[in-house]
Structure 1
Amino acid sequence: MNKITTIDLGSNSFRVLIYDCTNHKILDEYNEVVGMADGVNDTGLISIEAQRRVVDAINKSIEKLKYEPNKAVCVTTAAMRMANNSKEVLDYFKKHCDVDFKIIDGQEEARLTLLAVQYALKRENIDSSNFILLDIGGGSTEIIVNKGAEYFSKSFNFGIVTLTQKYFSKDELISQLEVYKRDIKAFLDSLDIDLNPFTFVATAGTPTTIAAIKLGQDFFHYDKEKVNGSTVNLYDLEDCLNIFKNETKENITKLVGKGRVEFIEVGVFIYKSIFEVLEKNESIVLDDGLREGVAIDFCIKSKLA
């Protein structure tokens, strides 16, 4: 069996995957909220507190999954792209954990996430020829249009963490999202493709959390096998917004997990905005994302698959 370890260090989440290249199966995984983008909007820097949280998460994942950190394929995204001290931060991780992170741009992030979703759709026996993919991250949001053997993508410079920390009222948030909606529509219109028959697919923490809540799951009883291939519609988003508005912080934490409570409502508003731009009624939800794409890409290029 040929296996690879991949690490996706996002703006809010840290995710590790042990992947079987031969059978294209996940062998083990580790997930933790690290809040890397916390404060980046204001300071332009990854804070030392965030760096320490990442180091702690890396060490815990090594202890749990028993992998060799210097052999892992590691990528990091929007927060590190934005930060003015990214080189120093990466040196810090190398010194304390022996991991080498590569900062990837929005286009590469989109390509790798798309690769994972293409594999996931086939696994779930869902047509993977024509679809629109939404990936809501902590510091950026990717929109990808897959049309047969070609795709078109754009990374937008907003995410659940950055928007939460930038806007302090619901009205301000909605007003800014209207601007982003126009930007997204302009990108889609520029493609000159009839997107009406295209399937709407969404990945990352916000869509999977909403799907899990719809299925009666919470953070501590999350079953991605049931989440994968499930659907979410606009009514489900409204139901979640009502839950987040009326439930206690303790109950919301049970539903979405520690470190996500303050961001999840903004994530729902972003998701809702994309529904409106696309004029879609529902989306398919998948748990697969960047770390799976990194693994699959490595397996293919190394001819281990």
Structure 2
Amino acid sequence: MSEIVSIDLGSNSFRVLKYNGLNDKILAEYNEVVGMADGLVDTGLISIEAQNRVVTAIEKSIEIVNYDPSIAVAVTTAAMRKANNNEEVLKYFTEKTGVKFNIINGKEEARLTLLAVKHALKRENIDSSKFILLDIGGGSTEIIVNTNDDYEAHSFDFGIVTMTQEYLHYHDLNKDLDDRKKEIQKYLDSLDINLDEYTFVATAGTPTTIAAVKLGQDFFSYDKDVVNGTIVNLDDLESCLNILTKSSKEEITKLVGRGRVEFIEVGIFIYRAIFEVLAKTESIVLDDGLREGVALNAYKKRCKT
């Protein structure tokens, strides 16, 4: 059977994909902000409210995408890794919906995301030999250095949701970002590579939102096929920040979508920090990420059996 349904339950977003591996076609998809990490920093727990939002999202996706939840390939990441009640939460999800989630670690998350991005770069006719991939998540940030058929990956313990929850004042955030930049620089130095030889590629909600704003799209007119391959530079980040500063909450919600308003600025600050560490002036933005990688990986495994 060539159809795969993959699910990515992140710290803030829930994403479903129905994929036909034989024809390399996306048949259906579903995205929703579920805010699973809300309150996680303070309590160490996935709240009952967040659990119920996830269950509701799963039920909606089953209806819209039309899939059997028992055979979906479902993964969950940083928030669930950190939550003290992760086992009981996942049991609850299975009991309520039939979906069985697998908690993956940062390295597996990076591997699967890289699989999707390399596939997307080839689809967009962009050189995929040497690039540095940034994946800004809600609870973690992955940086992957791809050199032809080899790669090095590291998962850093910060993301847009956790940073927003931890820091209420930007001067605190900026201090922490300076420390994070040193941490990332140390990792890159350990690889002993010439960064000038590598293009900068970015995926996940923050880069795609900035690309969409640059293209004149908002949350309701978002077209990932147009966003894919868009070049975002530092001026685009500043332009987006300027728009957000001058916009009302209602206008920002229309622009970035419900559940993302309070995190988008922090996401831009993280994105800008990586630009600075890499000494890059532009990056290639792709919508493809973990759920696409999960689908591709599952199809490849199925073909081998």
Bucket of the pairwise TM-score, normalised by the shorter protein? over 0.9
1:201-251 deviation digits (Å, cap 9, x = unpaired) = 000000000000000000000010110001100000000111111111110
Which amino acid letter does the alignment assign opposite residue 157 of structure 2?
N
The answer to whether the 8 A contact 1:22-1:304 is kept is: no
Question: Residue in 1 aligned with 2:36?
Answer: 36
- With the length of structure 1 as denominator, give the TM-score of the two structures: 0.99
1:133-282 matches, within 5 Å, as 133-282=133-282
Q: Return the alpha-carbon distance in structure 1 between the equivalents of residues 68 and 222 of structure 2.
A: 27
Question: Residue in 1 aligned with 2:99?
Answer: 99
Which stretches in structure 1 are left out of the alignment for 5+ residues?
Answer: none
Question: Residue in 2 aligned with 1:124?
Answer: 124
1:239–1:145 distance in 2 versus 1, CA, 3 Å: same
Moved over 2 A (4+): none
**Paired residue secondary structure (2:134):** strand
Q: Return the alpha-carbon distance in structure 1 between the equivalents of residues 282 and 25 of structure 2.
A: 28
Question: Residue in 1 aligned with 2:21?
Answer: 21
**Paired residue secondary structure (2:242):** helix
The number of residues matched between the two structures is: 305
The answer to whether the 8 A contact 1:20-1:26 is kept is: yes
Question: Residue in 2 aligned with 1:3?
Answer: 3
**Paired residue secondary structure (2:197):** coil
Q: Return the alpha-carbon distance in structure 1 between the equivalents of residues 132 and 163 of structure 2.
A: 23
Displacement of 1:183: 0.3
Q: Return the alpha-carbon distance in structure 2 between the equivalents of residues 153 and 196 of structure 1.
A: 18
Which amino acid letter does the alignment assign opposite residue 299 of structure 1?
Y
Q: Return the alpha-carbon distance in structure 2 between the equivalents of residues 27 and 127 of structure 1.
A: 27
Q: Return the alpha-carbon distance in structure 2 between the equivalents of residues 304 and 248 of structure 1.
A: 52
Which stretches in structure 2 are left out of the alignment for 5+ residues?
Answer: none
Question: Residue in 1 aligned with 2:63?
Answer: 63
- With the length of structure 2 as denominator, give the TM-score of the two structures: 0.99
**Paired residue secondary structure (1:221):** coil
The answer to whether the 8 A contact 1:40-1:46 is kept is: yes
Q: Return the alpha-carbon distance in structure 1 between the equivalents of residues 62 and 115 of structure 2.
A: 26
Question: Residue in 2 aligned with 1:74?
Answer: 74
Q: Return the alpha-carbon distance in structure 2 between the equivalents of residues 282 and 12 of structure 1.
A: 26
**Paired residue secondary structure (1:261):** coil
Which amino acid letter does the alignment assign opposite residue 169 of structure 1?
H
Q: Return the alpha-carbon distance in structure 2 between the equivalents of residues 173 and 188 of structure 1.
A: 22
**Paired residue secondary structure (1:18):** strand
Displacement of 1:197: 1.7
Alignment identity in percent? 68
Q: Return the alpha-carbon distance in structure 2 between the equivalents of residues 296 and 23 of structure 1.
A: 12
Q: Return the alpha-carbon distance in structure 2 between the equivalents of residues 302 and 89 of structure 1.
A: 29
Q: Return the alpha-carbon distance in structure 2 between the equivalents of residues 24 and 151 of structure 1.
A: 24
1:117-168 deviation digits (Å, cap 9, x = unpaired) = 0000000000001000000000000000000110000000100000001000
Displacement of 1:96: 0.3
Q: Give the RMSD, CA atoms, in angstroms.
A: 1.0
Q: Return the alpha-carbon distance in structure 2 between the equivalents of residues 163 and 243 of structure 1.
A: 22
1:175-197 deviation digits (Å, cap 9, x = unpaired) = 10000000000000000011112
Q: Return the alpha-carbon distance in structure 2 between the equivalents of residues 129 and 268 of structure 1.
A: 27
The answer to whether the 8 A contact 1:21-1:304 is kept is: no
Q: Return the alpha-carbon distance in structure 1 between the equivalents of residues 272 and 89 of structure 2.
A: 34
Displacement of 1:304: 7.4
Q: Return the alpha-carbon distance in structure 2 between the equivalents of residues 270 and 72 of structure 1.
A: 32
**Paired residue secondary structure (1:217):** coil
